[in-house]
Each structure stands twice: as structure tokens, then as C-alpha cells.
């Protein structure tokens, strides 16, 4: 049996680092750094034509997020991006 090829159209990366070092002068003293957005897939459609193949289309919503937060205050917001594929 021949396996059909596998294609990677796009990869999305996400990471988050949180630090907390409370002091007497600053009991909150925390920071949060986030790279990449939480995402969701919407409008997934597949059209097929018997043995001729298939066409896939979808939409990716990359939600807005705070890229840099210090002591609970957001210093940099990244806006929502919608991608159609």
C-alpha cells in the first residue's frame, strides 16, 4: 500500500514564561512573557472528487494577547490576526 504524501502548510509556535519574586517592597513582583498566540481553527472545508484528490480550506484565528506583563500590567499587546488558508 502506498501512503499518500504528508504536507505541513504552516506551524504555529507558542511559549509562556512566568516569574515571581515577591519582596517586602513589591509583594507582587512578577512578570509574564508570551510568544505566540492561542489559536483556533474555524471554517474547515473539504472538497473531494473521488480518486482525484481533495481541496482543504480553513481559517486560523490567532487571538490577541499580552506579550509582556509586569506586576499585572500589560506593557505590550499583540492584536488578533485572522488567516485564511
- 15: in domain: no
- 80: in domain: yes
Domain that holds residue 52: 38-85
Decide if 19 contacts 30 (C-beta within 8 A): yes
- 58: in domain: yes
Supply the pTM of this predicted model. 0.60
Count of structural domains within the chain = 1
DSSP helix/strand/coil, 50:
helix
Rounded Cα gap, residues 65 and 81, in angstroms:
11
- 9: in domain: no
Written as nine digits, the cell of 74 is: 500589560
pLDDT in tens, 5-50: 777 777 888 899 999 988 899 888 899 999 988 888 888 888 888 7
- 55: in domain: yes
Buried b (16+ CB within 10 A) or exposed e, 54-67: eeeeeebebeebeb
- 60: in domain: yes
Amino acid at each position: 500500500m502506498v501512503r499518500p504524501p504528508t504536507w505541513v502548510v504552516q506551524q504555529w509556535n507558542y511559549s509562556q514564561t512566568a516569574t515571581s519574586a515577591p519582596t517586602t517592597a513589591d509583594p507582587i513582583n512578577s512578570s509574564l512573557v508570551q510568544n505566540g498566540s492561542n489559536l483556533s481553527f474555524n471554517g474547515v472545508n473539504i472538497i473531494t472528487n473521488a480518486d482525484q484528490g481533495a481541496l482543504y480550506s480553513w481559517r486560523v484565528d490567532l487571538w490577541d494577547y499580552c506579550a509582556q506583563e509586569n506586576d499585572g500590567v500589560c506593557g505590550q499587546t499583540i492584536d488578533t490576526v485572522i488567516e485564511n488558508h
